[in-house]
């Protein structure tokens, strides 16, 4: 069973870059059946898809965040990371990493990290 | 990519059935049979309840079922139980090769 754990600063200043890392255990990040995703949830609001990455480095970003998002993968550490630039208070949210299981064209999120609250404030 | 539209809240008495709708466009829900549903209890990570419109993962009660017609997908919970009280989110694959979530529905068991 996969386990995912987010890590990174809980407080980021406006206009700076938010950086988070997700460490995967219980399986290999190079498993060909998996993509790796980032999702966020502002306090009291709904889920928002940020983007996903394959172990090869192929990335897929939400159109609304594409200009500010970079997702990368480090297979040697079994980790993948999120960078969100030029943050504002609107980026304050619980950020969660998750595994996206894919088979025969179908994909779904099956394992999630516990989530980490990132607050954007000076 | 706009969020899929769900009703903000749905309620029902124990034992009743309720249905949550999820309306998208011909670029997401209407284009692919890749709609999933997630249940989220307060302070917890979401849990997969339905994938590929109508498939249940192992361990999910058969009281949960899914369907789709055109640009609208639906989740039905039959035999409503107190433990079903939670937020529910739909998700769909999109023509942009990414995913989009619904706006979320709070289910209340009266």
Cβ–Cβ < 8 Å for A31, B88? no
Read off the pLDDT band of A98 (50, 70, 90): very high
| Closest-CA distance of chain A to residue B16, Å | 26
- Measured between its terminal Cα atoms, the distance across chain B in Å is 35
Read off the pLDDT band of A106 (50, 70, 90): confident
Here the tokens at position B52 are 């590929």
Cβ–Cβ < 8 Å for A82, A50? yes
Read off the pLDDT band of A105 (50, 70, 90): confident
| Closest-CA distance of chain A to residue B34, Å | 6
pLDDT digits (tens, 9 = 90+) for B49-58: 999 999 999 9
Nearest to B1 among A62, A110, A112 (CB): A62
The per-residue pLDDT of chain B, averaged, comes to: 96
* CA B2 to chain centroid: 17
**Within 10 Å of residue A57's Cβ, how many Cβ atoms?**
10
Residue A65 pLDDT greater than 90, yes or no:
yes
In the DSSP assignment, the letter for residue B44 is: S
Nearest to B97 among A46, A60, A110 (CB): A60
> Which residue do the tokens 């897929």 mark?
A60
Question: Cβ contact (<8 Å) for B52 and A106?
Answer: yes
Read off the pLDDT band of B29 (50, 70, 90): very high
Question: Cβ contact (<8 Å) for B98 and A108?
Answer: no
Strands (E) in A13-103, as ranges, are 18-25, 34-41, 48-54, 59-61, 69-74, 79-84, 93-103
Here the tokens at position B2 are 């706009």
pLDDT digits (tens, 9 = 90+) for B73-109: 999 999 999 999 999 999 999 999 899 999 999 999 9
Cβ–Cβ < 8 Å for A18, A121? no
Question: Cβ contact (<8 Å) for A46 and B45?
Answer: no
The per-residue pLDDT of chain A, averaged, comes to: 96
3-state helix, strand, coil in chain B (%, to 5): 5, 50, 50
Instruction: List the single residue in B with minimal CA-CA distance to A47.
Output: B101
């Amino acid at each position: 069973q996969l386990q995912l754990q987010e890590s990174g600063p809980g407080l980021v200043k406006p206009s700076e870059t938010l950086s988070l890392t997700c460490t995967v255990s219980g399986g290999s990040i190079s498993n060909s059946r998996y993509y790796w995703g980032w999702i966020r949830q502002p306090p009291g609001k709904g889920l928002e898809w940020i983007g996903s990455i394959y172990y090869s480095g192929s990335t897929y970003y939400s159109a609304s965040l594409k200009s500010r998002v970079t997702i990368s993968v480090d297979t040697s550490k079994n980790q993948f990371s999120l960078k969100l630039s030029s943050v504002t208070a609107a980026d304050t949210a619980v950020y969660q990493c998750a595994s996206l299981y894919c088979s025969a064209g179908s994909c779904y999120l099956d394992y999630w990290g516990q989530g980490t609250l990132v607050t954007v404030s000076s | 990519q706009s969020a899929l539209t769900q009703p903000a809240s749905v309620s029902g008495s124990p034992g009743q059935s309720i249905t949550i709708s999820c309306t998208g466009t011909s670029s997401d829900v209407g284009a692919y049979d890749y709609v999933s549903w997630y249940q989220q209890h307060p302070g917890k990570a979401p849990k997969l309840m339905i994938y590929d419109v109508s498939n249940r993962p192992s361990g999910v009660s058969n009281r949960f079922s899914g369907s789709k017609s055109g640009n609208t997908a639906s989740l039905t919970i039959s035999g409503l139980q107190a433990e079903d009280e939670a937020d529910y989110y739909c998700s769909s694959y999109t023509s942009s090769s990414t995913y989009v979530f619904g706006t979320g529905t709070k289910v209340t068991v009266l």
